[in-house]
Amino acid sequence: MITGLHHVTFLTADLSRARLFYESLLGLQVDATRPSMSFDGIWYHAGRGQQIHLMVLPDVEAGLCRPAHGGRDRHVALCVSDIAVLRKRLDEAGLVYSVSSSGRAALFCRDPDQNALEFIEVR
């Protein structure tokens, strides 16, 4: 049976641009254990035993019209310790986000490749 989530994978067209988002804005640390593969990419630590993988591969859905609110699109939900700190970082970077309409401390944004991310405050 399922015991947890190991990783989520996103496609990226520009690894340098994506790295700025995931490392500089979100503060994720690179997992240097990524083996050599037939395509470029990077792995990040995203919590206890969990990862985010970025793959530089063609996006078969390029040009697809995505919903404005990431909560109405496929997305990954990530736990954060302080949503206000993340919100401040997004504001300072001029990134668009939307708050959850459920009333919980959560917000949604998109990475540079339009992958939807949800951030939920878990203290």
Cα 108 from Cα 123, distance rounded (Å): 18
- Indicate the pTM of the whole model: 0.92
* Of 73, 74, 78, the residue nearest 50 (C-alpha): 78
| pLDDT tens-digit series, residues 26-84 | 999 999 999 999 999 999 999 999 999 999 999 888 888 999 889 999 999 999 999 99
Cα 92 from Cα 73, distance rounded (Å): 25
Unique residue bearing structure tokens 């793959």: 55
All domains of the chain in start order, with CATH: 7-56 (3.10.180.10), 70-121 (3.10.180.10)
| pLDDT tens-digit series, residues 72-92 | 999 999 999 999 999 999 999
